[in-house]
Amino acid sequence: MREATRLREIQPSFVRRLFDLATGSPDVISLGVGEPDMATPPHICEAAKRALDEGRTHYSPNAGILELRQAIAERYSNEYGLDYDPEEEIMVVVGCTEAIFCALAAFLEPGDEVLVPDPGYITYAPAVRIAGGRPVSVPVSGPDFWMRPEEVERAITERTKMVMLNFPSNPTGAVMPERPLHEILDIAGEHDLLVISDEIYEKFVYDGLEHVCLPALGATERVILVNGFSKTYAMTGWRVGYICAPKELMRAMFKVHQNVTSSTNTPAQWAALEALRGPQDFVREMVEEFDRRRRLVVRLLNSIEGFECPTPQGAFYAFPSVDGLGLNSEELANYLFERAKVVTSPGTAFGRHGEGHLRISYANTQENIKLAVERIRQAVEELRSRGPRMA
Ligand SMILES: Cc1ncc(COP(=O)(O)O)c(C=O)c1O
C-alpha cells in the first residue's frame, strides 16, 4: 500500500536519527536535544501520584479538567491582562504539538498555504502537509533571525490562510520585539489571515527582556495562542499543552481534538495544575542556569575558528554560522558526530534557509558543554588542516 500523497514530501527526521544513534552510547555528548535536562520538580510529580491514589484515572472532559483551564486563564489574565473564558476559550491538549495540529486541521482547505519560518521548528511544515495544506517558507536570517514583515508580505498569495510565529524561536533562539510583531499582525488583518503563535519558550528569555505575548498586542480575534508545560516545567514526557483562542475559532479546533485524541492524560493534567498553582522558584532557577550556559556556549563557540555565533536572547539553542568550513551543515553535523562524538543538529533540518548553520542545544550541564565544545574545536581544527572538502 502506498502512503498518502500528502505524506510523500515528509522526510524522516535527521535530528531524531542522530538522537537515536546517540542514545545508549556513553561517550557521546548530545547538544541535540530539545528538552530541559532537569527532572520535573517533585511537587509536580507528587500531584500526579495523588491523582492516581484518588482514582483520577478516567477520561477527563475533552477540553481538559476545568480547574486547569481556570488556572491557565488566570495566569494569562495576571501576566498579560488577557481575558480568556476558561470554559470556551481554553482547551488542554496532548502537548503543544497537538495544539498546532488542531489549529491547522481546523481551518485549512486542501492546498491552502501556511507561512512558516525558515529555519523554524521541525514539525511545522510536516504538520501543515498532514493537515492538507502547503507550507510556504518565510526566510529568517541572522544575526537577529526575526521574521521580517516585508518577507511575510512577500510570501502572501491568494491561497495564504495562516502565519506561524514562534518567539522565542526554535532553532535560532530569536526573540522579536513588539513593533515588527504589530506590523505582522496588521498584515494578517489586511489579508484576513489567522496567526498561530507558538510561545512554548515563553519563560526562556534573557538579558532582562520581557516576553511579548502576541494576543496581548491586540487582534485577538485572529490569534491562536499555543503553549504547554514541556519546557517551562521540564515536563516533556507528560504531554500537556493548551490552546487559547476566541470561542468562534475554538469550536472548530475542539472538533479536531475531540476526534483525534479525545483528551489528554488525566493524572498529567492534575500535575500541570500543580505546576501552575505551586511554587515557581524552579522556573526561575532553571532559566538562570540556562542563561549561564547560554553565555558559556556562545563564548566557547565564538572561540572556534570558522564558527560565528550571535548571542541568542531566548529558548535554549545557539545557532552559529559555520559557513566556510567546506562542508554543508548536514555533512558537518555528521562529521562532528563521527569524529567528535558530539550530537548537533544541522541547520537544514529546520528548513533550507538553515543551511550554513548548526543548532546547538545547551540543555546539558556546563561540564558537558565545555567538553563537547572542546571536542568540536579539535575536530574542526583537524578539518581545517586537511583543507576544503577532505572530511
Ligand atoms: C517551537 C516548539 N513548539 C512546540 C514544541 C512541542 O512541544 P510539546 O512537547 O508541548 O508538544 C517544541 C518542542 O521542541 C518546540 O520547540
Position with higher pLDDT, 290 vs 142: 290
pLDDT digits (tens, 9 = 90+) for 94-134: 999 999 999 999 999 999 999 999 999 999 999 999 999 99
- 46 domain residue, yes or no: no
**Ligand 1 pocket: which of 13, 200, 204, 214 to mutate (most atoms within 8 A of CB):** 200
What integer pLDDT is reported at residue 17 of this predicted model? 73
Q: Based on the fold, state whether residues 211 and 93 are members of the same structural domain.
A: yes
Boundary-marking domain end, from 261, 277, 293: 277
- Which of 13, 35, 40, 97 for mutating ligand 1's site (highest number of atoms within 8 Å of CB)? 97
Hey, what amino acid is at 10?
A: I
C-alpha 197 to ligand 1 mean position (Å): 12
Instruction: Band the pLDDT of 26: cuts 50, 70, 90.
Output: confident
Separation of alpha carbons 259 and 15, rounded Å: 30
Please report the atom of ligand 1 found closest to the CA of residue 120: 1
Q: How far is the CA of 349 from the centre of ligand 1 (A)?
A: 15
Any residues with CB less than 8 A from the CB of 284 and at least 6 apart, and which?
none
Residue in the structure block whose three cell numbers are 575558528: 305
Q: How far apart are CA 164 and CA 224, in angstroms?
A: 10
Tell me: do 147 and 235 sit in the same domain: yes
237: Cβ contacts below 8 Å, ≥ 6 apart: none
Same domain, 111 and 248: yes
| DSSP conformation class of 217 | G
Q: Residue 391: pLDDT band by 50, 70, 90 thresholds?
A: very low
pLDDT in tens, 265-286: 999 999 999 999 999 999 999 9
Considering the domain architecture, whether residues 23 and 83 belong to the same structural domain is answered as: no
Closest atom of ligand 1 relative to the 99 alpha carbon: 11
Are 253 and 378 part of one and the same domain?
Answer: no
169 Cα nearest atom in ligand 1: 1
Q: Are residues 177 and 312 in the same domain?
A: no
- Of the two residues 219 and 117, the one the predictor is more confident about is 117
> Angle CA(343)–CA(360)–CA(295) in degrees, nearest 5?
135
| Ligand 1 binding pocket, CB closer than 6 Å | 34, 95-97, 121, 166, 170, 198, 200, 228, 230, 236, 241
> CATH no. for residue 339?
3.90.1150.10
The range of the structural domain enclosing residue 17 comes to 5-40+281-384
| CA-closest residue to ligand 1 atom 16 | 170
